[in-house]
Chains A and B, each alone.
Chain A
Amino acid sequence: MAERVFVEQNFETVEPSQLISKVGDFKADGCRLGQICGVVLDDETYEIVYSFDKGHQLYNLRVDIKIGEELESITGIYWPAFIYENEIHDLFGVQFNHSALDYQGKFFKISEETPWKPKK
């Protein structure tokens, strides 16, 4: 039976190039993908937070990227990530490469293109 836990706020910052191997480690460890979240830090930087859950404990990876930079898709490791990657693509304009299920910007049909992207 599962045990009660107190969830700590674990945040670890990684380079975009390390992302795939780090996420692979979580998968090998038996973690479940919790969510992927995009944050606009300032006019030039996005922060993407990946959360993983194992036995109710939470582990978060933080990746900072410059606007216009591209990221590797993690759908090869966690297929359900397609929902978040397409969402972040449509709302923030971040390009994810080698996605297993790419909606090509048609996931959210919105009146304004990439509404979260900072206006220059």
Chain B
Amino acid sequence: MGKRTIIPFGPQHPVLPEPIHLDLVLEDETVVEAIPSIGYIHRGLEKLCEIKDFNQMVYVIERICGICSFGHGWGAVASMEGAMGVQAPERAEYLRTILHELGRVHSHLLWLGLLADGFGFESLFNHCWRIRETVLDLFEKNTGGRVIFSICKVGGMRKDISNENLKEMKEVLEGLKAEIKEITDVFINDASVQNRMVGVGVLTKEEAEELCAVGPVARASGVPQDIRMTDNHGVYGKLGFEPVLEEAGDCMARTVVRIREVFQSIDLISAAIDQIPDGPVDMKVPNKIEGEYITRMEQPRGEAFYYAKGAGTKFLKRMRVRTPTNMNIPAMVKTLAGADLADVPMLVLTIDPCISCTER
């Protein structure tokens, strides 16, 4: 038996844009156990929601995370609409779906860049982020913001996106496909990338189910779980959506799932833009929330929960958000045990941790 050492990983670490701390118990070069400790970014956001009415609350909820901000805003709004018993106009649901999928393209490209940075492929990182800027330009043109949009509200959208702009969005994204393919092929085919990722950190289907993994982590292990298969919100049922699945469960599979989802999201956006009906994007809603409602949303990182419990006024008794990283931390801890120390950054990165989501 080798000598046991404990190496602290984080909170400030070059591969981590956000603080998480792991105590890695090592036996020689092999991790025996990883003990996560979180709470560095806990703000108490859900408590803040108690003193904001349901219109102000959307601004707070969007700031749970600057990467999937649109999805968080939509999730909270959908749960409050559910509790009120109202249904947003169809055009608004289409626009929400389009912006949410655009958010997924931006988030996955960002993550691919961080991953490339993590295994030391600096130029690949820069190419991913270069392409991502085009997506951010689309966001800025249509919503006014690059990362925080505040365009979703209870009852619909704050403003419409014109059909010309939507058409242009479709053209830009379709044109982007070739560029994205050029760099994602490097992830899939490059030998140095394969060395770092193929067969590393395998999570079997049974383990993924046992550890309740969600999102791309679960789908990379062959678990067909995607909240876009539910019909409570969005228009995914009309777009012919099928979840992306991989079987291998290693770091490469998790990367490939996300790469395929980028193209899938672009296809979903194009299909939605082809179908989108004209009409209003906003409606009048009651001025109070009663009852309770749970909505789930497929964020780029996986399933997120939004639980709204009304108090019969403009304010809520409870707005609970459970984010995908929360549910993937057990899977990360499991795959870390038995891994090489040098692979730890890869394993942490491939669950795509979003710590500001986790701790709110």
Instruction: Please state if B320 and A39 are interface contacts (CB–CB under 8 Å).
Output: yes
Instruction: Please state if B229 and A3 are interface contacts (CB–CB under 8 Å).
Output: yes
* Whole-angstrom distance between the Cβ of A44 and the nearest chain B Cβ: 15
Contacts of A1-38 to chain B: CB distance below 8 A = 1-7, 9, 11, 32-35, 37
**A49 interface contact, C-beta 8 A:** yes
A-contact 0/1 string along B308-335, CB 8 Å cutoff: 0100000001101010001101100000
Instruction: Please state if A32 and B307 are interface contacts (CB–CB under 8 Å).
Output: no
**A120 interface contact, C-beta 8 A:** no
Q: A33-B212, A49-B307, A79-B211 are in contact. Are A60 and B330 (CB under 8 A)?
A: no
Instruction: Please state if B212 and A56 are interface contacts (CB–CB under 8 Å).
Output: no
Bound together, the chains give a CA A35 to CA B317 distance in angstroms of 18
Instruction: Please state if B212 and A7 are interface contacts (CB–CB under 8 Å).
Output: no
**A96 interface contact, C-beta 8 A:** no
Q: A39-B317, A58-B294, A109-B39 are in contact. Are A78 and B212 (CB under 8 A)?
A: yes
Main secondary structure of the interface of B (DSSP, over half): mixed
A-contact 0/1 string along B59-98, CB 8 Å cutoff: 0000000000000000000000010000000000000000
**A80 interface contact, C-beta 8 A:** yes
Q: A1-B224, A4-B237 are in contact. Are A56 and B359 (CB under 8 A)?
A: no
**B54 interface contact, C-beta 8 A:** no
Number of interface residues of A (CB under 8 A): 37
* Whole-angstrom distance between the Cβ of A63 and the nearest chain B Cβ: 15
B-contact 0/1 string along A74-109, CB 8 Å cutoff: 000011101110000000000000000001001111
A7 in complex: contacting residue of B210, B230, B327, CB < 8 Å: B230
Q: A2-B224, A6-B230, A51-B305 are in contact. Are A58 and B296 (CB under 8 A)?
A: yes
Instruction: Please state if A5 and B229 are interface contacts (CB–CB under 8 Å).
Output: yes
Please give, as numbers and ranges, the residues of chain A lying within 8 Å of B137 by CB-CB distance. Answer: none
**B209 interface contact, C-beta 8 A:** yes
Please give, as numbers and ranges, the residues of chain A lying within 8 Å of B44 by CB-CB distance. Answer: 110, 115
**B242 interface contact, C-beta 8 A:** yes
Bound together, the chains give a CA A53 to CA B227 distance in angstroms of 11
Instruction: Please state if A37 and B230 are interface contacts (CB–CB under 8 Å).
Output: no
Instruction: Please state if B230 and A107 are interface contacts (CB–CB under 8 Å).
Output: no
Bound together, the chains give a CA A81 to CA B318 distance in angstroms of 20
**B56 interface contact, C-beta 8 A:** no
Bound together, the chains give a CA A43 to CA B305 distance in angstroms of 26
* Whole-angstrom distance between the Cβ of A45 and the nearest chain B Cβ: 12
Interface centre among B39, B237, B307, B309 (most CB of A within 10 A): B39
**B37 interface contact, C-beta 8 A:** yes
Interface centre among A53, A78, A80, A116 (most CB of B within 10 A): A80
Contacts of B9-46 to chain A: CB distance below 8 A = 37-39, 42, 44
Subset of 11 A-B contacts with CB under 8 Å: A2-B224, A2-B226, A2-B243, A4-B237, A7-B232, A7-B294, A39-B317, A51-B294, A80-B330, A82-B330, A109-B39
The 7 A-B pairs with the shortest beta carbon distances in the complex, nearest first, are: A80-B330, A108-B39, A35-B322, A2-B224, A37-B320, A39-B318, A6-B231
List 12 additional contacts besides A40-B318, A80-B329; criterion CB under 8 Å: A7-B232, A9-B294, A34-B212, A35-B307, A39-B318, A56-B227, A58-B294, A80-B211, A80-B327, A107-B37, A108-B38, A109-B39
